[in-house]
Structure 1
Amino acid sequence: MTAEAGTEARGNGEGRGDMLDLAALWAAIKRRRAWVVVPTLAALGLSFFAVNVVTPRYTGEVRLLLESRSGFYALPGQSAQDTAGQFDAEAVQSQVQIMMSRDLAREAIKRIGLVGNPEFDSGAGALGALRKVAVMMGLGAHPADRSPEERVLEKYYDRLLVYPVARSRIVAIEFTSQDRALAAKAANTIAETYLEFQEAAKQDNARSASAWLSTTIEPLRKRVAEADAKVETFRAQHGLFAGPNNTSINAQQLADLSTQLSAARSQQAEAQAKAGMIRDAIKQGRTFEIPEVANNELVRRLIEQRVNLRAQIAAESRSLLPGHPRIKELNAQLADLEGQLRGAAERAVRTLENEAKITGQRVESFQAALDGQKKNVATSNDSEVQLRALELDARTLREQLEQYMQRYREAVARDTLNATPADARIISRAVEPIDPSFPKKLPIVLVSTLATFLIALATIVTRELLNGQARPLPQPRGPRWVSVADEEAAAKSENPTPETPRRDSVAGLLTHAGRLGHIRLDLDRPEETLAAMAERTEEPQRGLAPVMLVLDAGAEGAAKPHDLAELLAQRCRCILVDLTSDHDHGEPGFSELLAGEALFSDIIMRATGSRLHSIGPGRAGREAVFAAADLVDVALDALCETYDWVLVAAASNDEASMLEPVARRAQGGLVMSGKASNGHALEVAYRLSELTKAPVSLVLDAEHEVPMARMRQDEEEPVEA
C-alpha cells in the first residue's frame, strides 16, 4: 500500500515543504550587498597589487630519457637489450631519488656557483639586526657555523623539482630562480652532473670487477692445469686411451670383435645353406642347375664333350646296331664323362662344406675373443667412472676460467674513457625562460577575487539560515490565550472596557491540564499555521508523518477541515481522509481499501489545480471504517510513510466509541472552531482531550478572531516571519 501511495504522490508532482525560501535569501543578499562587494573589490585590488610587487621567478626545465646504453659498448655485436623491463615504475622512482641525493646536490651547487649568491646563500652579506638578536638569544644558528654547501642545500631543494612524466621513462628536472639565466644553467648542470655520476658509478663497478677478476683468474688457471694433469695421468696408468669419436680402445675393440663375429656367422650360415642345396640337387639329378657347378670350367668342357659324344652316338646309331663295338665304345666314353661330372659336383659340395667348417672355427675364435674383451671392459668400468669424474672437474674449472676471462675483458673494456655511457640521455635541454613561473598574475587575481566573493556570499547565506533557525517560530497575530492566574492579574491591573468579551470559557479551556491551546488559520501565511501545528503536535515515530484527528465544530462560513488541508498542501505533502459524512457513496474509498477491494491508487483523489490528496469514506460508509480499528492503523501507517501530514476528519457529534481508536493513534487533535467564543467547539475540545493524551487545539479563523481586551495583543509587536 505504501509503494502505491508513494507512486501516486510522485506521479502528481508533489514536493516537500521543507524547501529554502530563495526569495528571502535573495532579499537578504541585496540588503547586505555591501558585505559582498567591498571584500570582493578589496581582494581584487590587493591581489593585483601583490602580483605586481612580488619578485618574479623563472623555471628552467630539462628532460632525460632513461634507457640502457651499455650493450653496444661492452658487448659489441649483440642486439639491443630490452630497456622496458630494466626501467619499470620502481626503477624510475629510484633514479629520481638519485637525482635528488645530497652528494649530487653538493657537486651541482659547486658547479652552478650558488655559494655566495644572496638568493640561495643565507650567509652572503652582513647579518641583519633581527638575525643577530636571534643568534645571540640562541633562537637560530649563525650561518658561519655551517659549510657553504650546507647553507645552500635548504634553498636548493626548495627550488628543485624532479618528477617522472606519467606513463613513460622520462624524468623532468625543474629549477626555479629569480635569474632566468641561472634557472636554465642550474637545470642543465644538474642533468649533466647526474649523467657524470652514472658514468663514474659504472666505471667504478668495472674497475672493481677487473681488479677482483685479475686476482682470481691466475689461481684458477693453475687449478685447471692440475686437473688436466690428473686426468692424463690416470688415463695412462689404467690404459684408458681414447680412440676415434672420443671412445676408449677397449670399447672400440669390443665393437670390432662383435662386427667380425657377426660377419663370420653370416658366412658360415651361407656356406652350410649352399652345401645342402647342392646335395639335394645331386640327389634329384639337377646337378647342372647349381650355379657353382655350372660355372666350373672343367664342368663346361665335360659337358661339351658329352654333347659331342651324344651327337656321334646318334650319328653312328643310324648305320650301326647297339651291339657294334663302335657304339659300345662311344657309350663307355659317355658314361666316363657322366662320372666325371658327378665327381665335379661332389667336389663343389665338399668345398662348400670345408668353407663352412673353417667359418665355424673363425666364429668360435671370434666368440672367445669377444668374451675375453667383455671381461676386460667390465674390469675397466670402475676406472672409467673415476676418469669421467676427473674429466668433469677439469671441464667445470675450465668453463669457469673461460667465463672469468670473458668478464675480465669486458670489465677492462668498460674501464676505458667513454666506454660506459650513463643509462640516460638528455632529450630536452633548458633554455632561458621568457615568462615567469611565479606569480601567475591572471589566475591569482581571478581565484582570489572569486574566492572572496563566494566566501562573503556564503557567510551572508549561512548567517541568514542560522538566524532563521534560531529565531522563535512565528506566533499568531490573534489574542494570546493565558492561564486563569494571568487573567486575574490582568483584571486587577487594568479596568476592562465595555468591548472586552467574556473569558470564562477560555479560562476553563486553558486550565484543562495544560494540553489545550489554539492555532490561527491564516490562508495568507501558511508558514505560521504550519509552525503552530508543529508546536502543538507530538513527535511521531522515526520516519513517519504525524496523524491529526480533525473535528468540524465550526459555524456556517467558518473554515472547514478541507480548508486546513489545502493550506498545508501548499507547503508540504498532505492527505485528507474525509470521514465527516457518508457523501459520494458511488465512489470507492477507505472502506473498500480496508475490505481489500481497492488499492491506494484507486481511492486517492486530487482535484484539478490542487496539490491536496484526499480519500473518501467509500460505499460502505464511515461507520464501517471506524469499526475496523486495526485495519485503520495499518492503513494510516502506510500513509504516514509517504506523506508529511495525514489528517483524519470526523464529525463533531460522533460518539466517543467511534473516535477513540483514531484519537489514540493520532499525535494531535484539531477542532475547527472559527471563533474563540464558539461554546460548542470548546465542548468538543474537552471531549476530545479525554480520548487522547496528545495536545488538542482550536483552529480559529484569522478574519473571525475577536481580540480580547488587555491580552497584550496591543502591547507586543507580531514576530516577523
Structure 2
Amino acid sequence: MLDLSALWAAIKRRKAWIVVPTLAALGLSFLAVNVVTPRYTGEARLLLESRSGFYALPGQSAPDTSGQFDAEAVQSQVQVIMSRDLAREAIKRIGLVGNPEFDSGAGALGALRKVAVMIGLGTHPADRSPEERVLEKYFDRLLVYPVARSRIVAIEFTSQDRALAAKAANVIAETYLEFQEAAKQDNARSASAWLSTTIEPLRKRVAEADARVETFRAKHGLFAGPNNTSITSQQLADLSTQLSAARSQQAEAQAKAGLIRDAIKRGRTFEIPDVANNELVRRLIEQRVTLRAQIAAESRSLLPGHPRIKELNAQLGDLEGQLRAAAERAVRTLENEAKIAGQRVESFQAALDGQKKSVASANDNEVQLRALELDARTLREQLEQYMQRYREAAARDTLNGAPADARIISRAVEPTDPSFPKKLPIVLVSTLATFLIALATIVTRELLNGQARPLPPTPQGPRWVSVGEEDEEGRRPEGPAPERPRRDAVAGLLTHAGRLGQIRLDPEKPEAVLVALSERTDEPPPGLAPLALVLDAGGEGAAGPRDLAEALSQRCRCILLDLARDDDHGEPGFSELLAGEALFSDIIMRQAGSRLHSIGPGRAGREAVFAAPDLVDVALEALCETYDWVLVAAASNDEGAMLEPVARRAQGGLVMSGQAGNGHALEAGYRLSELVKGPVSLVLDAERAPAMARMPRVEEEPAEA
C-alpha cells in the first residue's frame, strides 16, 4: 500500500533533484524572455452589415437582409480577408517588400544560405516575386477571427515594429472594404453593360407588338369608344336603350287611348287631362257655358217652344257634338302614336338582332386582339423593368454608389505592451512545469521501487528485526538477519505442525500490526482481499476483534463482520442482507471518529447467518472485492460445522488471546488450525505480552534499496 510518510521522506532526501532544475528553469526562462525581441500586435475590428438600403433609389424599398450574415457568411468574409489577392495588395500598401523582418530577399545572403542554394536544399530569393517572398511571413503574423456570437471580425497583425503592426491592421481592413466596393461596382458595371445590349432589341420588339395590335384593330374595326368599350358593344347598348324607350311610348299611347274611350262612354270626357287641356275643347266648353247661360236667362220670359229657346238649344246640341268629335280625334291621335311606336319597336328589334350577330362575330376578333395586347404589354413591362435596373446599375457604378457591406468600428492604435513574450506567465509556467516534472519523476521512481513485496531478497539476505525493538527516534536497527526461527518453535509454544504463531497488537503502531498480519496470512486469489477468521478468547479487559480491526483501518480499508454476538440493538445486519431485505449500504456502519466499517449479525441473529452457507460465501466474496482486509469475528466456543462456510474461504485464522499463557486461547487456536488452511496466530496485547514472546518478522526494505 502507499506509505505517504516514506514517500515524503524520499522527497526530502532528493530535494536537490527538485530545487536545482526548478531554479535553472527560472533563470533560463527569465533570461530568454529578456533576450527575445518583443513583438507587438495591432488590432482593427469590422462590423458586417448591409448598407445597400441607405443608397437605394427613391421609391425603392430596401431588401430584407436579416439573414444575410449568418455564421457561415461571417466565416466566408474571414476567408476573403485572408485571401492571397487581398494579401498582395495589402503588402504593397504596407510596404513589407524590402523589410528584413518579412522579406527574406532583403540584404545579402548568408554563407549557410548560399551553400544550401548551391546544393539544392533551398531556393534563391530572386527566383520568386517580392510579394511571394513576403506572403509566408505575412500569413504567419496575420490573425483574422470572428468575435463569438456577433457579426464583428477582428484583424490582428504582429510585428516587431509597433507602428507597423497598427498600420498593417488598418491597411488590411481598408483594403478589404475597397475590395468589397470594387466587387459591387464590377457587378453594377456588368449589369449595366448587359442591360444596355438587351434594351435596344427589346424596344424594337415592343414597337412591333404595338404595331400588330393597331393593325389588327383597324382591320376588324375593333375601335374603342368611351369607357374603353368597343363601338359594336356601344351600338348594341344604344339600340337596346332605344328599343326600351319605343316600347314604353307604345304602351303609354295605347293606355291613354283606352282610358279616353272609357271616359267617353261614361260621359267623363272632360276629366281626361289630354282632352281637357286641348285649346279647341276649352273654347267649345266656354261657348257651351255661355250658351247655357243665355238659355237660362231666356227661359225666365220665354216658353220652351219659343223659337228663341229652340235656336239656343240647337246651338247647344251642335256644341256637344263638336266636343265629342274633339274627344274622338284625341283618341285617334293616341292610337296613331301607339301604332307608330309599335313600328319603331319592330325596327329597333330588327336592328338589335342584327347588332347582336355583329357583336358575336366581333368577340372572336377581340379575343385575338387581347392576346396581341397582352404580348405587347408584357414586352413593355419587361422593357420598363430593364430600363429601371439599367438606371440603378448606372447610378451604383458611380463613385461611392455601392458601399461595402462592412465598416470599421475600431481602428488599430500603436500598442504599448508587447504581445510576445508574456514575461511573467512564461517564467511562472516554465518554473512550475519543471518543478512538477521533477517531483513527478521522484514520486514515480519511489512508487515503482516500492512495488516489490514486503519481503524483498537481497544478496546479503533479508534483514530481520523483532517487533517493538525500535530506538527512541522510532528507527529499527538494521543488519544481517539472524537465522530465522522455525514457526513450530516460537516462544516455546506447541505450534501444531508449525501453523500456530503469535502477533502483538499495538494500537499505536498499526504498520507493525499490518506487516505481521500479512506475514501470517496466505496469499489470497487474484483480485480479492485477504480474509481472516477471528475467534475472541481474550477474556475480560483484553483486546477484542474490533481493536484489531481499528488498528488495521488506520492503514487500509478494513471491514469487520461481527458474528460473535447476537444482540444488535434491533438494527439491520448480515442476516437481512442474506434474506434480501437490505443492501450493503443499509447494513455497513461506521462510528464517528473511526475509519472502520463494520457489519452486525442483524435482527435474526448469528445462527440465521451460519444457516445459509452458500449465501454467506457470495457475500464474503463481494466484501473481498471491495476492501483491503476482511475480518470475520466468531465466538471461541462455536462448533466447527458453523464456522465451515467462513473457514474454507479464510487465508488465515486469528485468536484474540490477551496474554501468552491463555490456555483457552491455545485450545481455540488448535481447533481453528484444523478448520482453516492458512496459518493461525494468537493476537497478544502489547502491554501484557512478555518480551520473550515477540514474534520475529521481516522489515520492509527502503524504496532506494
TM-score (norm 2): 0.78
Checking the alignment, whether the CA contact within 8 Å between 2:545 and 2:656 is kept in structure 1 is no
Tell me whether 1:158 sits opposite 2:166 in the alignment. no
Relative to structure 1, is the Cα distance of residues 285 and 174 closer, same or farther in structure 2, using a 3 angstrom cutoff?
farther
**1:74–1:414 Cα contact (<8 Å) kept:** no
Structure 2: which amino acid aligns with 1:686?
A: S
- Give 1:146 shift: 1.5
Q: Which amino acid aligns with 1:682?
A: G
Alignment of 1:487-526 (within 5 A): 501-502=491-492, 505-509=495-499, 521-526=505-510
Q: Distance in 2 between matches of 1:310 and 1:669?
A: 173
Aligned to 2:654: 671
**Equivalent pair of 1:69/1:424 in contact (CA under 8 Å):** yes
Aligned to 1:45: 27
Confirm or deny: 8 A CA contact 1:59 1:436 kept in the other structure: yes
Among 54, 59, 63, which residue is 2:36 paired with? Answer: 54
1:96 to 52, 64, 78: 78
1:365-404 superposed Cα distances (whole Å, 9 cap, x missing partner):
2222222122122222332222222222222222223333
1:700 paired with 2:683, answer yes
Q: CA deviation at 1:150?
A: 0.9
Moved more, 230-239 or 678-687: 678-687
Q: How does 1:566-581 map to 2 (within 5 A)?
A: 566-568=550-552, 578-581=562-565
Residues 276-295 of structure 1 aligned to structure 2 (within 5 Å): 276-278=258-260, 287-295=269-277
Q: Is this contact kept in 2: 1:74–1:419, CA < 8 A?
A: no
Matched, 1:472 2:453: yes
Q: Distance in 2 between matches of 1:589 and 1:129?
A: 88
Q: Does 1:119 align with 2:101?
A: yes
In structure 2, the CA distance between the partners of 1:228 and 1:152, relative to structure 1 (3 Å rule), is: same
Secondary structure of the 2:86 match is: helix
Alpha-carbon shift at residue 275 of structure 1 (Å): 4.4
* Same amino acid, percent of matched pairs: 79
| C-alpha distance 302-614 of structure 1, shift in aligned 2 (>3 A) | farther
Q: Which residue identity is paired with 2:655? A: M
Would you say 1:654 and 2:638 are equivalent positions?
yes
Distance in 1, Cα, partners of 2:170 & 2:602: 91
Which structure 1 residue ranges, 5 or more long, are not aligned? Answer: 1-17, 480-492, 511-516
Residue 679 and residue 394 in structure 1: after superposition, are their counterparts in 2 closer, same or farther (change >3 A)? same
Number of residues of Structure 1 aligned to a counterpart in Structure 2: 672
Q: Does 1:247 align with 2:229?
A: yes
**Alignment partners' CA distance in 2, 1:591 and 1:191:** 77
**Where does 1:542-553 land on structure 2 (aligned, <5 Å)?**
549-553=533-537
Residue in 2 that maps onto 1:562: 546
**Aligned pair 1:685/2:672, yes or no?**
yes
Question: Relative to structure 2, which stretch is displaced further, 293-302 or 437-446?
Answer: 293-302
Deviation per CA, 1:471-505: give whole Å up to 9, x if none: 535999768xxxxxxxxxxxxx8999xx9644762
Q: What secondary structure does 2:508 align onto?
A: coil
Alignment match, 2:153: 171
Q: In the alignment, does 2:131 pair up with 1:149?
A: yes
| Contact preservation (8 Å) 1:551, 1:672 | yes
Which digits, 9 at most, give the CA deviation of each residue in 1:434-479, with x for residues without a partner? 33222233333344344444444555555555555x2535999768
Q: Structure 2: which 5+ runs fail to align? A: 457-463, 468-482
Q: Letter of the aligned partner of 2:548 in structure 1?
A: L
CA distance in 1, matches of 2:593, 2:695: 40
Q: How far did 1:158 drift?
A: 1.0
1:477–1:718 Cα contact (<8 Å) kept = no
Q: d(CA) in 2 for partners of 1:603 and 1:99?
A: 69
Q: In structure 1, how many angstroms separate the alpha carbons of the residues matched to 2:293 and 2:465?
A: 175
- Measure, in 1, the Cα distance between the counterparts of 2:201 and 2:237: 42
Provide the secondary structure at the position in 1 that maps to 2:158: strand
Q: Could you tell me which residue of structure 2 aligns to residue 64 of structure 1? A: 46
Pair 1:406–1:618, CA change in 2 (3 A): closer
CA contact (8 A) 2:454 2:699 kept: no
Alignment of 1:2-17 (within 5 A): none
Cα distance between partner residues in 1 of 2:656 and 2:343:
150
Structure 1 equivalent of residue 369 of structure 2: 387
Contact 1:551 1:649 in 2 (8 A): yes
Distance in 1, Cα, partners of 2:280 & 2:514: 153
Instruction: Report the residue type matching 2:495 in the other structure.
Output: S
Distance 2:429 2:435 in 1: 10
Preserved contact between residue 655 and residue 669 of structure 2 (Cα < 8 Å): no
Provide the C-alpha distance between the structure 2 equivalents of 1:321 and 1:474, rounded to a whole number of angstroms.
Answer: 191
Q: CA deviation at 1:607?
A: 7.0
**Whole-angstrom distance in 2 between the partners of 1:612 and 1:439:** 55
The 1-side partners of 2:248 and 2:6 are apart by 126
Post-superposition CA distance 1:190-229 (Å, at most 9, x none): 2333333333333333333333333333322222222222
Mapping 1:623-638, distance limit 5 Å: 623=607, 626-627=610-611
**CA, structure 1 residues 234+153, in 2 after alignment: closer, same or farther (shift >3 Å)?**
same
The answer to whether structure 1 residue 435 and structure 2 residue 417 are counterparts is yes
The amino acid across from 1:195 in the alignment is L
Matches within 5 A, 1:368-447: 368-447=350-429
Match of 1:231 among 207, 213, 226: 213
Q: How far apart, CA to CA, are the structure 2 residues paired with 1:645 and 1:323?
A: 177
Q: TM-score, normalised by structure 1?
A: 0.76
* Contact residue 531 and residue 631 of structure 2 kept, 8 A: yes
For 1:15, the equivalent position in structure 2 comes to none
